[in-house]
Structure 1
Amino acid sequence: MEETLRKHLEEIIELTDEEFALVLSHFKLRTFKKHQIVIDQGDPVKYNLFIIKGLMKSARVTPDGKEHIVQFAMENWWITDLEAFHYGTHSKFTVDCLEDTTTYGLTLESKLLLCKQLPKIEHFFHVKTTTGYIALQKRVLCFISSKAQDRYHNLLDQYPGLMQRVPKTMIASFLGVSRETLSRMAVA
């Protein structure tokens, strides 16, 4: 598991064994069961989670009980409510496990301390945040200016293998379409 995190970090920065040991000391290994809620909408957010194994989703549930999925996160992805994590506010999303999931969790305090101790980690997080923001912009633009079929193909590109791991109703929620519309797109 440690090697998965190290490989992920070293896609952006180089680390000595000593530096990686320092990084690892700030993370907490956390395991969750399928269907376990990790962050509940309205609660404070303690961790930014790096997924080693498994699958999670982030969703907003409206007062009438309708779920709007905003993110799926699988191996080598990060997931949290970033605003609540950074500002100490309450989460606007629920994050739960779609499979048994193993993560490395990082608190904000540990992240800030680690960035002071090892400035190259700050660069890592800057790159990850920037690429995440760009991906979010693309998703929003796709959502407001593309047809459902295009959103479906973008999902297949961004999340390879996801269709085999989650129910079609969740895919439909993520795409903002009905289950029936999704079935028609999958056939086309």
Structure 2
Amino acid sequence: MSQILRQQIEKIIQITDAEFDHIFPHFTTKKFKKHQFVIQEGEYVPNDYFILNGCLKSYFTDKNGKEHILQFGMQDWWITDYQAYYNQSTATINIDCIEDSELLCLSFQNREKLCAEIHKIEHFFRKKTNKHNIALQQRILSLLSNNAKEKYDQLLQLYPLLFQKVPKQLIASYLGVTRETLSRFKSSSK
């Protein structure tokens, strides 16, 4: 399992065996069951999570009780409530498991410690954050400028595995369409 993390890190920086042997013990492994919360709104957020296997969703619930999906997470992705994690405060969103999942947990303190000790790791996290910011901007621009079919096509092109792992009603919620509309998109794409 540690190889998945090392491969992810080495997409951005090269590290030695000794450096990885120093980095890896700063993470803890935790398993979650399907539908189990990883983060719950109002609770303290101690960790950033690297997904070893499984599938998760982050979302917030509006005052009318409607869920708004912000992000999905699959193997080799990172997920947390970043506002709460970086500010060391309570969560404003929920993250739960769509399927049984195994995560590597990195506390804020351990992240800061690693960044202070190994400059390359600080570079890795900066680059990772930059990529996250770009993806977030692209999602916002897509929400503002694309119609529902274009958003569907873009999601399918970027993340085809999502459509195998995530139930249709959650994909529809993420895109802001009904399940019936999603079914029409699927039939017109065949």
With normalisation by structure 1, the TM-score equals: 0.97
Q: Shift of the alpha carbon at 1:157?
A: 2.0
Segments of 4+ moved more than 4 angstroms: none
Letter of the structure 1 residue corresponding to residue 74 of structure 2:
M
Letter of the structure 1 residue corresponding to residue 45 of structure 2:
V
Query: How many Å separate the matches in 1 of 2:83 and 2:160?
Result: 27
Residue in structure 2 matched with residue 143 of structure 1 by the alignment: 143
Q: Which runs of 5+ in 1 are unaligned?
A: none
Query: How many Å separate the matches in 2 of 1:24 and 1:142?
Result: 36
Deviations 1:13-40 (A, max 9, x none): 1111110011101111111111110100
Residue in structure 1 matched with residue 98 of structure 2 by the alignment: 98
Letter of the structure 2 residue corresponding to residue 97 of structure 1:
C
Secondary structure of residue in 1 paired with 2:58: strand
Query: How many Å separate the matches in 1 of 2:13 and 2:120?
Result: 7
Query: How many Å separate the matches in 2 of 1:17 and 1:185?
Result: 47
Residue in structure 1 matched with residue 45 of structure 2 by the alignment: 45
Are 2:75 and 1:88 equivalent residues in the alignment? Answer: no
Q: Shift of the alpha carbon at 1:63?
A: 2.2
Q: Shift of the alpha carbon at 1:158?
A: 2.4
Secondary structure of residue in 2 paired with 1:58: strand
Letter of the structure 1 residue corresponding to residue 17 of structure 2:
D
Query: How many Å separate the matches in 1 of 2:117 and 2:91?
Result: 29
Deviations 1:51-93 (A, max 9, x none): 0111000011112211110100000000001010000122111
Q: Shift of the alpha carbon at 1:126?
A: 0.5
Are 2:168 and 1:153 equivalent residues in the alignment? Answer: no
For the aligned residue pairs, the C-alpha RMSD in angstroms reads 0.9
Residue in structure 2 matched with residue 58 of structure 1 by the alignment: 58
Give runs of aligned pairs for residues 1-188 of structure 1, distance below 5 A. Answer: 1-188=1-188
Query: How many Å separate the matches in 2 of 1:23 and 1:177?
Result: 42
Letter of the structure 2 residue corresponding to residue 22 of structure 1:
H
With normalisation by structure 2, the TM-score equals: 0.96
